Structure 1
Amino acid sequence: MDGDVYAFSYSCTEGENRELWSSGHHLKSCRQVRISADGLKLYSVSRDKAVHLLDVERGQLVTRIRGAHGAPINSLLLVDENILATGDDGGTLKVWDMRRGTAIMDMKNHEDYISDITVDQNKRMLLTASGDGTMGVFNLKRRRFELLSEYQSGDLTSLALMKRGKKVVCGSSEGTIYIFNWNGFGATSDRFALKAESVDCIAPITENIMCTASMDGYIRAINLLPNRVIGCIGQHVGEPVEEIAKSWDSHFLVSCAHDQLIKFWDISGLPKLTVNEYRKRKKKHGRMKSLTKKAFGENDFFSGLVEETEKKQEEEEEQEEDEDSDSGSD
């Protein structure tokens, strides 16, 4: 919130967690950070409307683009080693060529803030989620706007590609996941209500399984098509989760929240789980299963709490899914 960026080294087995460096170059809150694929560059965007490039090893400022947007910058995506995309509170999307430090695309097609940005594997199509309830589609190669999806009933808060790029999933402020077919961006093909306060973050784990995080502090594992809540990865008790990310080796899910804690959750067993098409209509215990028992470096503060507070979660989700799902097959 004060604009500082911190870098830490961590250990989930032996050793210690320690701060490597901190940078106070932003004048206002830092809203997003991304590290390049080679691990050498760190990009950050801020409410001060600036884009910063830092050296990861030393934490030194390499490049600064002042006044990159006319409104506070809210989202950031690294397309490749030279191209990055930024979205602001006013709904403007910009794509930058960092070799020249200039914007090669500058488009305002959303009526509200851009919450998230993603790109396909071929780096051709750029997708945006917005607070106006639409998903935007932009042709990165031709540098043009393509279309907006139909309006949804809540803010679209997060984006991810699943099923080898054949499906686009959007989280929303109302706790519903909207699913689009690739090349069918105009209207949703399916929807899935989680009974969560929101779906603020999405992190794909496999082609079928993703993790979501919400304002209620819960991190859920979700299977896509068939749409199922597999269980609870963990929780930041009573605090909205700001960000989740998969570690480089896919062994951990990392989360941070308003409690000022960074937590590491063991998700190594998640890819081995399978979800059947068939599901019994009546269950003796309709509870969301806890998939992990400990946040590394933390006491087992929520053991049993997840099951108690979400006792009827799965039964409600089954009923809601039947009402809201438009299609249940891939």
Structure 2
Amino acid sequence: MRRFSMVFRFCSDVTDPKMATSMEESVISNESPSAEKDSIDEDEVTQRLGRLGHEEDVTDEPKEPRVRETPEDIRFEAIVNTLAFHPTQDIFAAGDIDGDIYVYAYSCLEGANKELWSSGHHLKSCRELAFSQNGQMLFSVSKDKSIHIMDVEAGKLVTRIQKAHSVPINALLLIDENLLATGDDGGTLKVWDMRKGTAFMDLKHHEDYISGITIDQAKKILLTSSGDGTMGVFNIKRRRFELLSEFQSGDLTSVAIMKRGRKVVCGSSEGTIYIFNWNGFGATSDRFAVRAESVDSIVPITDSILCAASMDGVVRAINVLPNRVLGSVGQHVGEPIEQIARSHDGRFLASSAHDQLVKFWDISGLPKMEVSDYRRRKKKGGSLKSLSKKAFGTGDDFFSGLVEETEKKEQAEEEGDESDDDSDSGSD
């Protein structure tokens, strides 16, 4: 009896039914008549082996990759300082503090993000990246004072301008296919003609680093934000400096043109957004204190809505005039964010932070948001509204339901309690 049960266990593991049956018959023929009482039904053995084979076939079938709402996070070996998206393809570039540049293809299919190539030509930290308008070239500036131009498809260095500045370069703007503007840590602005490889403007009017550069649609007036607390105005058509704004408290960390060219917005290290009228650059027309440690990087999404990244690790959506914090797009919990960038189709926002991650956030719903001119009073210490499923774990967090119920209750209490003051000044 014991010997036969061992044979049965062996037969149940055999994948060939014919082999199992023949082995069973040979054992039964050698047994005594009393063993026939313990014989195993042949059909039962065959059924068990069939089920075993079917289970193996099911487990071997390849699973289709899951489609996510956003591409997966990408981890780098060092902190990423700067991000840039390709103008037409699902490709982005990242530059880190070691001077390395990485170019990735991104996708919402799980596991489909792919590194296309990397470069280590910069000797020190890569500070800023920008794709050319046709997407064929990638420009970069570095703490090593150089400007590099790389072929995007081949991943090879095409042009290098060594010692382009006498101090580390911090800011970069592609004006058109031939003109390039750069700003350095000492407050010097240069505008380059890349056909000649020389700068036709070399002006120093800031007393501290240039943090950001932008230009109007006519490609005439170039604006700079600086760590000295001023905004600079330069006329590149006439190749001259125009003026500096009045000093603001804290560093001006970023600059953007909004409201169809009628307003200029600057972020600051104090967490305040300063607003200038076009052709009224000397003094601010409005200011908006955001509940954030700083406003380090801003990206316009529409004429009125921008995304702002802060040292507190939160990416906020902000409406300008009327001034409102709309909510949180995403976050790097407890990690200062270096830069944010918008994808070519406007669907995603990417952010890089000190956790060495590049994260993607769904911002496709932001252009559809409507903001009332009336500002409701908001309780002090109230939580930010989550504007994406990934923001603060909404949808996955066990406590998300409690948060939603609390927000609904607060909203109900606020109904009918609208402010009589309809000015654009003040913060939420």
TM-score (norm 1): 0.89
Q: Which of these residues, 135, 139, 157, is aligned with residue 61 of structure 1?
A: 157
Query: Would the alpha carbon gap of residues 326 and 222 (structure 1) be closer, same or farther in structure 2, given more than 3 Å must change?
Result: closer
Q: Does 1:192 align with 2:288?
A: yes
Query: Would the alpha carbon gap of residues 87 and 294 (structure 1) be closer, same or farther in structure 2, given more than 3 Å must change?
Result: same
Counterpart of 1:240, as a letter, is: P
Larger radius of gyration: 2
Between 1 and 2, higher relative CO (CA 8 Å, sep ≥ 6) is seen in 2
What's 1:5 paired with?
Answer: 101
Deviations 1:268-316 (A, max 9, x none): 1110000001123356993310101127xxx957985xx79xx99xxxx
CA-CA distance at 1:246 after TM superposition: 1.0
Distance 1:168 1:141 in 2: 20
Q: Does 1:40 align with 2:136?
A: yes
Q: Which of these residues, 101, 106, 119, is aligned with residue 197 of structure 2?
A: 101
Query: Would the alpha carbon gap of residues 122 and 292 (structure 1) be closer, same or farther in structure 2, given more than 3 Å must change?
Result: same
Distance 1:303 1:251 in 2: 28
Deviations 1:75-121 (A, max 9, x none): 00000111010000000000001010000100000000000000001
Q: Which of these residues, 143, 167, 191, is aligned with residue 71 of structure 1?
A: 167
Q: Does 1:253 align with 2:375?
A: no
CA-CA distance at 1:13 after TM superposition: 3.4
Say which structure is richer in helix. 2
Distance 1:155 1:212 in 2: 15
Task: Could you tell me which runs of 5 or more consecutive residues in structure 2 were left unpaired when the two chains were aligned.
Answer: 1-96, 411-419
Distance 2:127 2:398 in 1: 28
Distance 1:188 1:284 in 2: 27
What's 2:37 paired with?
Answer: none
What's 1:267 paired with?
Answer: 363
Q: Does 1:115 align with 2:207?
A: no
Q: Does 1:87 align with 2:220?
A: no
Q: How many residues align?
A: 313
Counterpart of 2:166, as a letter, is: G
What's 1:31 paired with?
Answer: 127
Query: Would the alpha carbon gap of residues 105 and 282 (structure 1) be closer, same or farther in structure 2, given more than 3 Å must change?
Result: closer
Question: Secondary structure at the residue paired with 1:254?
Answer: strand
Question: Secondary structure at the residue paired with 2:367?
Answer: helix
Distance 2:191 2:396 in 1: 43
- Kindly indicate whether the alpha-carbon contact (under 8 Å) linking 1:189 and 1:327 is maintained by their aligned counterparts in 2: no
- Kindly indicate whether the alpha-carbon contact (under 8 Å) linking 2:99 and 2:142 is maintained by their aligned counterparts in 1: yes
Deviations 1:204-224 (A, max 9, x none): 000010000011110000001
Moved over 4 A (4+): 282-285, 299-304, 325-328
What's 1:315 paired with?
Answer: none
Q: Which of these residues, 335, 342, 356, is aligned with residue 239 of structure 1?
A: 335
- Kindly indicate whether the alpha-carbon contact (under 8 Å) linking 2:323 and 2:425 is maintained by their aligned counterparts in 1: no
Distance 1:240 1:284 in 2: 23
Query: Would the alpha carbon gap of residues 88 and 56 (structure 1) be closer, same or farther in structure 2, given more than 3 Å must change?
Result: same
Distance 1:236 1:66 in 2: 35
TM-score (norm 2): 0.69
